[in-house]
Structure 1
């Protein structure tokens, strides 16, 4: 697309009533890329549970409530259509497909970035939270931080990989599990969970156990779960959690799992997770519960040191993780189970998400 064809205004989905599930399509001014930036014509954007957390102000740990008129979204795919000063000589080319991630910008030079922990960048910017996100047709992005999309990987398939896929891949890497080890995925049939099952089983050689509502069993097993537990058949009290833990350990030969990667925003799941682990096992925290945070049960010093357990936090991934995830997607190791919706259906998507009715992911088609 030639620069002359770039419109002066374009469609964007904004959070018009932060604190509620409410989005509105507006026409906004198309930005011009600044120094070190590129302008991307977005064609698709994944819809993530994190978008709902930002929109509804349900994450108490965020430093400020979401501003009215915020353009949400952080799983955008499109093509480079214009360069800002200083970017023309980069490896990017006009018309090249790139992705915009949860971290819209990371400096790459601070201690966190040098450690490969981009999400903790001291000057990082989050796409869709005080930085224009990907629920729009044009977006500005730092040239050094967009992710190239492999040839042959469709844009709608690539979009959810930029957060969901990268997040679970990075988390599985941090779990310490080895090929042949058992790994438990609470939230197995959701957007994160169904990708974690695929990457863990097909890409990393783990034996996967899925935990979720019964209607998601078919999807979980298709994605690589050897064993599935219907969480609705257990209660939420201590006895029910104990029975679930016993069943998980029986499925693993009596020892327990090497890792539990919690892919659901559920305090109950976190309360159960440590009881699934074997000696020297690892709990990886991925899903962020809404409301006030709760203390993880059984994480007392005696339990932790006697069983040599670890609790690890994992927030999305870095640039290398993103490239490796998209490579796995291009090779067919992981595929996204998704449905495609137009921009005007986003409120309905969030309503279904809030009720736990989504299986896999939803991708927005950003075309007119």
Structure 2
């Protein structure tokens, strides 16, 4: 392995709950890869809002190290693995492993009920080194900046999959609620590149400018604009052909339903009474992520990313709790 020490630095969650904090520890053991696994030395990792849920105890965790948007290079391979993998640049994602045996896996492994997830079931990417099974890893194009690529591993692929499932035609209207956040700002770019007219819904001047700069057709502030009325005006009274609701509150979902025309599509929500097609979406497939990364290579999309020091992670998670972050944040892993 490329390091002489057996210890590493990581961000450790002490006690999940409303007042929990993460602390930087320098005494964490560096794991060794088993058969079918590799050891990845991380360069940076994205910070996701779902990490906040783990810290606050809203979602269960069986590890004290969260994170699932890690970019790094393979520095050690487990027994039987090819040495050709060494120094390959890879992404460590939310989907850590899956059974590949159940009926669900036959359709889409990302929905496997037996899956394990980075930062939830196994130690995640808030550390210098992480072990990962080989198969779920994604190769990262060398031309992509690590900090820009990291958010594509979760935020990017999640919104990409959602937009692709809507299957909108070029020129049709798409409303993205929460357009100025980690998923939303990537979604604006993807939808615009796919030919949709994007109505970005969020609040604040900073997010308005972000969305418009990224190609939104218009921006509506849900605190000051009558979003439903304005969407109807823009769409000749019909409403949008599709919507992606990234809000975690009931009011956001209710607003999403109000901006849609009959026979339109919404991701996600519950079945409604106007002929909507409700499509569930989580993360996308490995093939979709490869396509998304190539969009980034071609310069068609980017991630609006602010890079911070690893020691700032606790403060960044607090800001995420308070919805005070525009775009996406990435932290540098100590080298």
- Residue in structure 1 matching 2:255, options 238, 261, 272: 272
Shift of 1:258: 1.1
Match of 1:86 in 2: 80
Partner of 1:126: 117
Match of 1:251 in 2: 234
Q: How does 1:290-329 map to 2 (within 5 A)?
A: 299-300=271-272, 303=273, 307-329=274-296
* Contact in 2 for aligned 1:164/1:191 (Cα 8 Å): yes
**Superimposed CA distance per residue, residues 131-171 of structure 1 (whole angstroms, 9 cap, x where no aligned partner):** 11000000000111100001211111110100011000000
How far apart, CA to CA, are the structure 2 residues paired with 1:131 and 1:367? 21
Runs of 5+ unmatched residues, structure 1: 60-64, 235-242, 286-294
SS at match of 1:42: strand
Alignment of 1:187-202 (within 5 A): 187-202=178-193
Local SS of the residue matching 1:313:
coil
Q: How does 1:96-245 map to 2 (within 5 A)?
A: 96-116=88-108, 118-202=109-193, 204-215=194-205, 216-234=207-225, 243-245=226-228
Listed one character per residue, the Cα deviations across residues 9-52 of structure 1 (whole Å, up to 9, x for unaligned) are 11111211211341011221101100100100001000010111
Q: Partners of 1:113 and 1:330 in 2: how far apart?
A: 30
CA contact (8 A) 2:175 2:199 kept: yes
2:66 pairs with 1:75: no
Whole-Å separation in 2 of the counterparts to 1:245 and 1:125:
40
Equivalent position SS for 1:10: strand
Give the gaps of 5 or more residues in structure 2: none
- Runs of 4+ aligned residues of structure 1 deviating over 4 Å after TM superposition are none
Cα distance in 1 for partners of 2:320, 2:56 equals 13
Find the residue that maps to 2:85 and give its secondary structure: coil
Distance 1:315 1:6 in 2: 39
How many matched pairs?
Answer: 332
Contact 1:227/1:251 (8 A) holds in 2: no
Q: Which residue of 2 aligns with 1:35?
A: 35
Deviation at 1:327, TM superposition (A): 1.1
- State how far apart, in whole Å, the 1-side matches of 2:138 and 2:99 are: 15
Is the CA contact 1:70–1:130 (under 8 Å) kept in the aligned structure 2? no
Q: Quick check: 1:352 aligned with 2:319? A: yes
Quote the offset at 1:112 in angstroms: 2.3
- Contact preservation (8 Å) 2:2, 2:75: no
- Bigger shift: residues 41-50 or 175-184: 175-184
Aligned partners of 1:4, 1:137: CA distance in 2, in Å? 12
The DSSP-based 3-state class of the residue aligned with 1:77 is strand
The C-alpha deviation readout for 1:214-258, integer Å capped at 9, x for no partner, is 221000111121011111115xxxxxxxx4212211112221111
TM-score by length of 2: 0.94
TM-score (normalised: structure 1): 0.86
CA distance in 1, matches of 2:321, 2:113: 31
Tell me the SS of whatever aligns to 2:157: helix
- When structure 1 is superposed on structure 2, of 105-114 and 183-192 the one drifting more is 105-114
SS at match of 1:233: coil
2:64 paired with 1:66 = no
Q: Which moved more, 1:328-337 or 1:74-83?
A: 328-337
Displacement of 1:284 = 0.2
Q: How does 1:357-368 map to 2 (within 5 A)?
A: 357-368=324-335
- CA RMSD in angstroms comes to 1.7
